[in-house]
Amino acid sequence: MSYRAWLKKAVSDLKSARKLLAGDDPLMDTAIYHTQQCAEKALKAYLSFHQQPIQRSHDLELLVEVCMQIDKDFEGLYRYSEQLAPYATAFRYPDICLEPDYDDVFSAIEMAEKILDFVEKKIEKA
């Protein structure tokens, strides 16, 4: 898959997260999942742009580490990846906590957007 396709999917996930949080009946558990997906696909876009193999992994921290091998500036994304990583599976299945709170989802959207923006700028500058 081309890096452009990865970026398109990342943008779509970010839009989905925003739409799912908006309105009178937000779907916060699904919205927060899409924030992790946005970050994952953005990082994979960067790797694809640099013609690196795309790992079949949802591990954002690992993906940031692989991106850091190309560009050390990705280290600044590590804290976001740590926070977003659990949302790949958290809240997707019935558990003790069925849904995140609004502030957590809003914050996750901001972090995913920062990762996506960072990647897009890195690709533009290359």
Q: What is the pLDDT of residues 23-76, one digit of tens each?
A: 899 999 999 999 999 999 999 999 999 999 998 889 999 999 999 999 999 999
Taking the alpha carbons of 57, 112, 18, 7 in that order, is the dihedral positive or negative?
negative
Give the domain range for residue 8: 3-125
Number of separate domains in the chain: 1
Asked whether the beta carbons of 36 and 59 are under 8 A apart, the reply is no
Residue 33 belongs to domain with CATH number:
1.20.120.330
d(CA 23, CA 17): 12
Q: Give residue 96's pLDDT.
A: 67
C-alpha distances (whole Å) from 53 to each of 50, 61, 63 are 9, 16, 11
Write down the residue that tokens 């839009």 correspond to. Answer: 15
Q: Check residue 93 and give its pLDDT.
A: 79
66 three-state secondary structure: helix
Whole-number percent of the chain with pLDDT over 70? 98
